[in-house]
Structure 1
Amino acid sequence: MNCIDLFAGAGGLSEGFHRAGFKFFAHVEMDEAACLTLKTRQAYFYLKRNNRLDIYINYVNGNISREEFYLQIPDNVFQSVINSEINKESINCIFKQIDRNRRGKDVDIIIGGPPCQAYSVIGRSRDPKGMADDKRNYLYKEYIKFLVKYSPKLFVFENVLGLLSAQNGLIFKNMKDEFKSAGYNIDYKVLNAKEFGVLEDRKRIILIGWREDINFKYPEFKIKDNKYTIKDLFSDLPFIKSGECINSYKTECTQCLKDTHIRAEDWNTLTQNISRPNNERDLEIYKLYMKTWNEEGRKLKYNELPEHLSTHSNKNSFLDRFNIVPYDKVCHTVVAHIAKDGHYYIHPDINQNRSITVREAARIQSFPDDYYFESSRTAAFKQIGNAVPPLMAEVIAKYLKKELNKH
């Protein structure tokens, strides 16, 4: 099954579809750091196929530079990664690159979701014009051009819930009409990642379209009861404090980590387990939040903080500026804002007193420990927050592959 991933980000959707056996002609992404992550993931797959993962481990452990690492990988391994914005000026060039990669083969499925900031309810509330003038409102039109060009049997379009209400529903109505005009029937559901085995409460619209000549209906996914918690997910990770980095596991691989595809039994290389350095005021706030949570079972509100810790003048709104990742259940949604600060993702162990690490955030999103996020800690957090959880993508991909095989 052959696939194109548009607005690919760090590759969460791609990872799930790769596990289901899909082959990729292209991962198209404008962010340079995310493209480096995609390239490094392609290098990982190549080295794993050729029993040379020692080179990859040497790289992620920091023993060789990225340049030295990439020189050991054939150029054709990277050709599916296309670092480009998708717009009317670039699209023909992107088509040419994809056509070189596919060599006349059909595209079975297109996946991806345009950047969600223009549809986000929070983003619209902060913009005086409600994001009405944001060009990202209309990136779906670029997506449709790929449907018209390659006529895949199916497509998967992922986005935030705010898409349904953007411009009072007009954007979504026009989108559905234009998908229909392009020759596709569509259906959508609001799906929650936690119902797919992901240890995160993350609701997203998953829109699936199918060519008019294809007999298809939207899947009824079996809802999973999560038998694991964040405590299970973090159980093998070392004790670290604010600003520290310890890249070694404290225990062997657990059943939770096997079942969620986080860590293979033979994978013993922990990377990017680095915590932000926090100032003393933030650390004092974290402790107060944790103390209230542990002793009273509730979240502290910002206007309850002592005066010397309360730096924001607005005490009537945005009172949940800080939040705790709970040990005893799944995490709330990890979003890209985690790249700016970790206040909404305080580690549940009061003795560690810090926000979560890059690796912990990646695990919450169900990225495996052998997944390496490129460029910087800030870039890694942003890529993780914007991603589709691979475990959720894998379940969707396996169902769609089964349906595609019928045709």
Structure 2
Amino acid sequence: MKKTVIELFAGVGGFRVGLNDIHDFDEDGRAIENNDWDFVWANQWEPSTKVQHAYDCYTTRFGEGSCSNEDISKVDKSAIPDHALVCGGFPCQDYSVARSLSKEKGIEGKKGVLFWDIADVLRIKKSPFVLLENVDRLLKSPARQRGRDFGIMLRTFDELGYNVEWRVINAAEYGCAQRRRRVFIFAWRKDTKYNKNIDPVYAESYLFKNGLFASSFPVEDPEDFVNDFKLIDLTKYQDTVEMTSLFQARFENTGIMIDGLVVTGKTIPIQVKPITLREVREDRNHLEHYFLTDSQNEKFEYLRGPKKIERRNPNGEIYYYSEGGMCYPDNLDLPGRTMLTSEGSINRSTHVIEDKETGKNRLLTPIEAERLQSFPDDWTNTGMPEKRRYFMMGNALVTKIINKLEPNLREIINNE
């Protein structure tokens, strides 16, 4: 099978950077792709902004025509080219399902819930393989009905003819520069050759030794698999509509679903030495633009410090909001913390490091933000404002995780 790919919610091209092992671009700004994954279609559209900076960055690095800039819900899914792999990091939203007025069963999530667009692609194009990334909160949401959203998502995959594996990966535990926890989801059609080698009876071997994630990101052997891993039966619900009101479950950091039966439990990573902030820090001089003023330092010291703040409920009842203290400035001998879209602004989550030349406290540069996500230096230097460069990296994935998956994913698709 040819290694053809479509990238949904493409952003600035993180999956493509990872799969094609991109470290640089040429004098014309085009990415130098070192692997042979053929991206036959991509889509990036940001509804809340007039200027499409992510799309502009993608087409600068991969060429005009490399990406669609249309609302994915309006895309004719049948016109998408055939492909072996769908990849994308989709927004985490509400996965509740309702019946139509005619009482027919069907997926009718809230307007703009983008997982249903992925489902539409799979229903129409019957994509053999799927690789997705999301916040690990997805496994627990919503708070009032823990696990409902992920359960509905898994049941939808099953009804579309797919089996699924997932793993929550902290990038820093596998040699990356950021303590970023994300859930990665790998799905495959039940009529693939790959599926013939997988049986729920052998879930232990798959999850700990032979599966895509176990072979790419090793974990410690289980102490008591039978008792520590549990079974969740999604087939006992009539449909996803019934699951919306009744389903809840505890999905752990590792799991597999075969024909609607889920096996899930906790795994412990065999850790690899991470990249530290000291290694990420730029060597160049004259970074005064990023230095903090005395008042900004004082503000950060307050934001990072422990605090207990009196607040009042609408009914007048008093309660206390508490926050623990954080290291200030950030420890250069640790990997970075999870980078948010607000990176570079004055808030508790923004990184502050000592400048190499002067020892003064400063913000990360956009290049350092790119290094936290394993992008080439200046990847987002395509004409967008500096604040948007930080935003793009806060929204992106750690491309090195995808690069570590690539050899085993390549083997799976080559074997089809």
Tell whether the structures are fold-level matches, with TM greater than 0.5. Answer: yes
Could you tell me which residue of structure 2 aligns to residue 165 of structure 1?
Answer: 140
> In structure 2, do the counterparts of structure 1 residues 38 and 320 end up closer, same or farther at CA, with 3 Å as the change threshold?
farther
Give me the TM-score of the superposition, normalised by structure 1: 0.66
The answer as to whether partners of 2:282 and 2:368 remain within 8 angstroms in 1 is no
* 1:177–1:346 distance in 2 versus 1, CA, 3 Å: closer
Q: Which runs of 5+ in 2 are unaligned?
A: 22-34, 47-51, 96-108, 199-210, 219-269, 310-318
**After superposition, what is the alpha-carbon deviation per residue over 1:306-364, rounded to whole angstroms, capped at 9, x for unaligned?**
xxxxxxxx973356699643201111111112265464234321732222121111111
- Aligned partner of 1:232 in structure 2 is 279
Q: Is the 8 A contact 2:381 2:389 kept in 1?
A: yes
Does structure 1 retain, via aligned residues, the 8 Å contact 2:174–2:274?
A: no
SS of 1:81's equivalent in the other structure is coil
C-alpha contact 2:343 2:349 (8 A) present in aligned 1: yes
Which runs of structure 2 are paired with 1:4-403 in the superposition (5 Å)?
Answer: 4-19=6-21, 20-31=35-46, 32-42=52-62, 77-87=63-73, 90-92=74-76, 95-96=78-79, 98-99=80-81, 106-116=82-92, 135=111, 138-167=113-142, 168=145, 169-214=147-192, 215-216=194-195, 218-219=211-212, 220=214, 221-222=217-218, 223-226=270-273, 228-234=275-281, 236-238=283-285, 240-241=287-288, 244=289, 275=290, 280-286=294-300, 288=301, 300-302=305-307, 316-318=321-323, 324-338=329-343, 340-341=345-346, 343-349=348-354, 351-374=359-382, 375-403=384-412
1:278 deviates by: 5.4
Give, as a single letter, the amino acid of the residue that structure 2 aligns with 1:41: R
Q: Which runs of 5+ in 1 are unaligned?
A: 43-76, 100-105, 120-132, 245-274, 291-298, 305-313
* Structure 1 residue 25, shift from structure 2 partner: 1.3
Pairwise CA RMSD of aligned residues?
2.9
Query: Between Structure 1 and Structure 2, which shows a larger proportion of strand residues?
Result: 2
Equivalent position SS for 1:317: strand
Distance 1:227 1:8, change over 3 A: closer
Quickly say closer, same or farther: Cα 1:282–1:225, change in 2 above 3 A. same
Contact 2:54 2:392 survives alignment (8 Å): yes
Matches of 1:227 and 1:9, distance apart in 2: 25
Query: For 1:194, what is the secondary structure of its paired residue?
Result: helix
1:11-30 deviation digits (Å, cap 9, x = unpaired): 11221112243111122111
Per the normalisation by structure 2, the TM-score is: 0.65
Instruction: Name the aligned partner's letter for residue 157 of structure 1.
Output: L
Count the aligned residue pairs: 298
Give every structure 1 segment of 4 or more consecutive aligned residues whose post-TM-superposition deviation is greater than 6 Å. none
Q: Which amino acid aligns with 1:91?
A: V
Q: Percent identity?
A: 25
Q: What secondary structure sits across from 2:188 in the alignment? A: strand
Question: How many angstroms apart in 1 are the aligned matches of 2:343 and 2:110?
Answer: 23
- The change in CA–CA distance for 1:227 and 1:114 in structure 2 (over 3 A counts) is closer
Q: List per-residue Cα deviations over 1:186-233 (Å, max 9, x = no partner).
A: 111111111332111111111100010222463212345125421122
Contact 2:176/2:275 (<8 A) preserved: no
Structure 1, residues 360-396: CA drift from partner, whole Å, max 9, x if none? 1111111111523441112111110011111111112
Q: Give the structure with the higher percent helix.
A: 1
